[in-house]
Amino acid sequence: MAEGAAVVGTGAPVRKPVRRGRWVPYALLAPGLLWLVVFFVVPMITLGSQSLQEGNIDEGYVFTGNVSIYADAVQRYWPHLLRSVGYAGTATVLALLLGYPLAYFMAQKAGRWKNILLILVIAPFFTSFLIRTLAWRNILSDDGPVVAFAQSIGFTSLLQAIGLTSNDTLLASKFAVICGLTYNFLPFMILPLYASLERLDPRLVEAAGDLYASPREAFRRVTWPLSLPGVVAGTLLTFIPAAGDFINSRLLGNTETVMIGQVIDSQFLRVLDYPLAAALSFILLTMIVVLVTFYVRKAGTEELV
Amino acid sequence: MAVLSWIRRHLLAFAALAVLTLLLVPNVVVAVFSFNDPVGKFNYNWARFSTDAWTHPCGSPGICESLGLSLRIGVTASLIATVLGTMVALALGRYQFRGRAATNLLIFVPMATPEVVMGSSLLTLFLMLGIPAGALAILIAHIMFCVSFVVVAVKARVATLDPRLEEAAADLGATPAQTFLRVTLPLAAPGIAAGALLAFSLSFDDYIITNFNASPSSITFPMFVWGAAQRGVPVQVNVIGTVVFLAALLFVIAGQVLSNRRQRAV
């Protein structure tokens, strides 16, 4: 495709199909990639540099290359880091358990309702997620019907017993934060699952049945392995934003559910300790990259088996 | 027993329906509470029916200004991101070039980076360059995180197009510019529209990154909602949330009907 590039624009009387020049793809790429380099890659470097500076907001910062800030940050905030990974991991598993049946139903069983269901899954996206998260405060409010019902069947006592809530209501608890995270990132789980389940040929499952596989066995050996690309994509798209999120922990949690994103936000914008906040940002990013790499490796090999 | 076996057979449908309900309940609650007349500052418990907020949607100070700013930033950011992203997607889908793997990586990584990291890193860049926080900084940030999503949406569409259509246009004597405008662009249009819509909704909805780059004079709608959540959310927020939801639903349904009709016409 790239040969014969130089003739473009020379006015030579060639009648063979004009090939666009060798430079065309680079011209197409340049503005977009330049934007990403200047406003995504360069900021990562300034963030790294900021974490190794010392000083304060009034007198300015000087680069000292003092890496002990990282040890300091981990020592002070490891509970928040662990909590963020724990909440995000739990929400990801819950979203997978909830999202899989819906995605499977839409892809394989919904027939002509498929498009309508797809619209209904995407539609909530278009209301600001802050407003939707606040709506959970209405739904789970202390003297609302949901809490009354949960109390009557003993669900609140159960949650309290396993330490997910601290009294017999639902709001301002670990439980509410994890539910909020699950709810908010559920569409990110459903859409990739749907995309890979839609490509699944139902005849493969039928064939498994013909070969005397029980429905459970057919799911385990045929459907699930073939949907793995969707599972991997969906879990990543849920886990990564959930680990950095602080909207849910702020609106639905309490002082014991503070996640690392909230610490970074307040260190940057209220405490104005830029080096510490920058170091925490980097630690969060590194942690996610390490976990995701491990996960993709493992999921990747399972897919091959 | 018959009932039990009927339930068993439709277990999957029930599970799917239950999850769908879970997804939609908050939107219904937002709509219902837009007709509430709350006692006190907080709109958490139902008091009595009222259409006050619907007849005075700008009744809360600052709400419509913030909505206006969000719409302006959303439209500008999605337009620019759509142009940049479409160009990148065409290069990836239509050309061979060196550095494809690096390009794909650069497109993918911003989508896999937590927003709080992107927001804070941009803040350090703007501090270093002396770019003041405000609408311009927000716009730059929004274009940055929207580009990748546009690339993905457009690339998916471009990948399904038959390259022979473009070759045919060239064989019939069309210049590269004519081929692009009259063949490639119309065929890629649904992907471009999807990318633009996605970019707009991402920009319109963003709080975390925006918060890092905003100033007191550039309050976007999500920032207004966040601020209000601390001191009591005005009912008008529910009205605007409901209107945006219905408008988007209408938009998506219209798009579906249009594409169905076009498919039938072919």
Q: Residue A287 maps to which CATH number? A: 1.10.3720.10
What local confidence, expressed as pLDDT, does residue A90 receive?
Answer: 97
A119 to chain B, any CB pair closer than 8 A? The answer is yes
Distance CA A169, CA B73 (A): 40
Is-contact B204 B219, C-beta < 8 A? Answer: no
Tell me the mean pLDDT in the region A228-254.
Answer: 92
Residue B135 included in any domain: yes
Q: Write the single-letter amino acid at B174.
A: A
**Is A32 close to B97, i.e. CB distance below 8 A?**
no
Q: For residue B19, which residues of chain A lie inside 8 Å, CB to CB?
A: 98-99, 101-102, 186
Residue B46 included in any domain: no
Residue A49 included in any domain: no
A82 to chain B, any CB pair closer than 8 A? The answer is no
User: Has residue A254 got a pLDDT over 80?
Assistant: yes
Residue B247 included in any domain: yes
Tell me the mean pLDDT in the region B175-180.
Answer: 86
User: Has residue B89 got a pLDDT over 80?
Assistant: yes
Residue A265 included in any domain: yes
Residue A62 included in any domain: no
Same domain, B114 and B173: yes
Tell me the mean pLDDT in the region B99-111.
Answer: 90
| Cβ neighbours of B11 (radius 10 Å) | 10
User: Has residue A21 got a pLDDT over 60?
Assistant: yes
Segment among A4-13, A105-114, A242-251, B88-97 with least mean pLDDT: A4-13
User: Has residue A39 got a pLDDT over 90?
Assistant: yes
Backbone angles phi, psi at A128, to 5 degrees: -45, 130
Q: Which of B22, B175, B212 sits opposite A268 (nearest CB)?
A: B212
Nearest CA in chain A to B168: A17
The domain tally of chain A equals 1
Q: How many residue pairs from chains A and B have C-beta atoms closer than 8 A?
A: 257
Q: What does pLDDT average to over chain A? A: 86
What local confidence, expressed as pLDDT, does residue B1 receive?
Answer: 65
What local confidence, expressed as pLDDT, does residue A20 receive?
Answer: 54
List the beta bridge partners of residue A55: A61
What local confidence, expressed as pLDDT, does residue B3 receive?
Answer: 80
Nearest CA in chain B to A3: B96
pLDDT in tens, B38-85: 877 777 778 888 888 898 888 888 899 999 999 999 999 999 999 999
The domain tally of chain B equals 2
Q: For residue A120, which residues of chain B lie inside 8 Å, CB to CB?
A: 20, 23-24
User: Has residue A6 got a pLDDT over 50?
Assistant: no
**Is A268 close to B123, i.e. CB distance below 8 A?**
yes
Segment among A7-16, A153-162, B232-241 with least mean pLDDT: A7-16
**Is A281 close to B121, i.e. CB distance below 8 A?**
yes
Same domain, B196 and B254: no
Distance CA A233, CA A239 (A): 10
A192 to chain B, any CB pair closer than 8 A? The answer is no
Q: Which of B43, B144, B252 sits opposite A40 (nearest CB)?
A: B144
Is-contact A81 A283, C-beta < 8 A? Answer: yes
Q: Which of B12, B27, B128 sits opposite A132 (nearest CB)?
A: B27
From A157's Cα to the closest Cα of chain B, the distance in A is 23
Give the burial class of A286: count Cβ atoms within 10 A of its Cβ; 0-12 exposed, 13-18 middle, 19 or more buried. Answer: exposed
| Cβ neighbours of B247 (radius 10 Å) | 11
Residue A33 included in any domain: no
Same domain, B174 and B203: yes
Q: Please report the DSSP string for chain A in residue order.
A: --TTGGGTTS-----SPPPPPTTHHHHHHHHHHHHHIIIIIHHHHHHHHHHTEEEETTTEEEE---THHHHHHHHHHHHHHHHHHHHHHHHHHHHHHHHHHHHHIIIII-GGGHHHHHHHHHGGGGS-HHHHHHHHHHHT-TTSHHHHHHHHTTHHHHHHHTTS-SSSSSSSSHHHHHHHHHHHHHHHHHHHHHHHHHTS-HHHHHHHHHTT--HHHHIIIIIHHHHHHHHHHHHHHHHHHHHH--HHHHHH--TTS--HHHHHHHIIIII--HHHHHHHHHHHHHHHHHHHHHHHHHHHHHHH-
What local confidence, expressed as pLDDT, does residue A14 receive?
Answer: 41
Same domain, B187 and B67: yes
What local confidence, expressed as pLDDT, does residue A33 receive?
Answer: 96
User: Has residue A229 got a pLDDT over 50?
Assistant: yes
Q: For residue A285, which residues of chain B lie inside 8 Å, CB to CB?
A: 113-114, 117
Tell me how far apart the terminal alpha carbons of chain A are, to the nearest angstrom.
38
Nearest CA in chain A to B147: A32
Same domain, B70 and B147: yes
Same domain, B83 and B203: yes
List the beta bridge partners of residue B36: B49
What local confidence, expressed as pLDDT, does residue B252 receive?
Answer: 80
**Is A31 close to B87, i.e. CB distance below 8 A?**
yes
Same domain, B98 and B169: yes
Residue A241 included in any domain: yes
Nearest CA in chain B to A140: B44
Q: Residue B146 maps to which CATH number? A: 1.10.3720.10
User: Has residue B225 got a pLDDT over 80?
Assistant: yes
Q: For residue B248, which residues of chain A lie inside 8 Å, CB to CB?
A: 123, 125-126
Same domain, B140 and B247: no
From B7's Cα to the closest Cα of chain A, the distance in A is 15
Residue B14 included in any domain: no
Q: What is the pTM of this model?
A: 0.87
Residue A91 included in any domain: yes
Nearest CA in chain B to A264: B116
Res. A115 pLDDT band, cuts 50 70 90: confident
Q: Which of B109, B221, B256 sits opposite A119 (nearest CB)?
A: B256
**Is A32 close to B88, i.e. CB distance below 8 A?**
yes
Distance CA A152, CA A173 (A): 19
Residue B69 included in any domain: yes
Q: For residue B159, which residues of chain A lie inside 8 Å, CB to CB?
A: none
Segment among A144-153, A293-302, B190-199 with least mean pLDDT: A293-302
Res. B219 pLDDT band, cuts 50 70 90: very high
Residue A30 included in any domain: no
pLDDT in tens, A200-222: 888 998 899 899 988 889 899 98
State which residues form the domain around B146.
Answer: 60-233
Q: What does pLDDT average to over chain B? A: 89
Segment among A197-201, B62-66, B176-180, B253-257 with least mean pLDDT: B253-257
**Is B44 close to A29, i.e. CB distance below 8 A?**
no
Same domain, B243 and B227: no
- Coil, strand or helix: which one is B14? helix
Same domain, B241 and B204: no
pLDDT in tens, A280-295: 999 999 999 898 888 8
Nearest CA in chain A to B138: A39
**Is B103 close to A29, i.e. CB distance below 8 A?**
yes
Residue B116 included in any domain: yes
Tell me the mean pLDDT in the region B245-258.
Answer: 84
List the beta bridge partners of residue A54: A62
Please give the share of chain A, as a percent, with pLDDT higher than 90: 48
Res. B18 pLDDT band, cuts 50 70 90: very high
Res. A300 pLDDT band, cuts 50 70 90: low
Residue B246 included in any domain: yes
Tell me the mean pLDDT in the region A161-181.
Answer: 90
Q: For residue A16, which residues of chain B lie inside 8 Å, CB to CB?
A: none
A21 to chain B, any CB pair closer than 8 A? The answer is no
User: Has residue B258 got a pLDDT over 90?
Assistant: no
**Is A43 close to B252, i.e. CB distance below 8 A?**
no
Same domain, B193 and B250: no
State which residues form the domain around A111.
Answer: 76-304
Q: Write the single-letter amino acid at B25.
A: V
Distance CA B37, CA B34 (A): 8
Of the residues A42, A138, A269, the best mutation for testing chain B's interface (the one with the most B CB atoms within 10 Å of its CB) is: A138
Residue B9 included in any domain: no
User: Has residue B163 got a pLDDT over 60?
Assistant: yes
User: Has residue A1 got a pLDDT over 70?
Assistant: no
Parallel, antiparallel, or unpaired for β A53-56 and A60-63?
antiparallel
**Is A35 close to B110, i.e. CB distance below 8 A?**
no
A97 to chain B, any CB pair closer than 8 A? The answer is no
Segment among A13-27, A245-259, B23-37, B158-172 with least mean pLDDT: A13-27
From A48's Cα to the closest Cα of chain B, the distance in A is 9
Q: For residue B171, which residues of chain A lie inside 8 Å, CB to CB?
A: 17
Same domain, B157 and B195: yes
